[in-house]
Amino acid sequence: MENILKIINTVLNNRDKLRISEISKSSHLRNDCGLDSLDLAELTVRIESEYDVDIFENGIVETVGDIMNKINE
């Protein structure tokens, strides 16, 4: 979870958006974290490079919990 928060903040920081201090499984990536499509695309690549999983490969990922499920599959 902490690592995902770090990756999300890297993406936000790159676009000069406000960092977030905490996330939970139910945090919504667009609504709560403020990520748009470009950000999400970047997020997938950063997660893929660390976990070797393309989180958007099969269907929609909306929350932090969805990401964790994909990584742990």
Site for another protein, rule CB under 8 A: 13-14, 37-38, 40-42, 44-46, 54, 56-57
Alpha helix (H) residue ranges in the chain = 2-14, 37-51, 64-72
Take residue 33 and report the two structure tokens written for it.
């974290």
Q: Does residue 71 contact residue 51 with C-beta atoms inside 8 Å? A: yes
Q: Which is nearer to another protein, 24 or 38 (CB)?
A: 38
Q: Does residue 24 contact residue 8 with C-beta atoms inside 8 Å? A: no
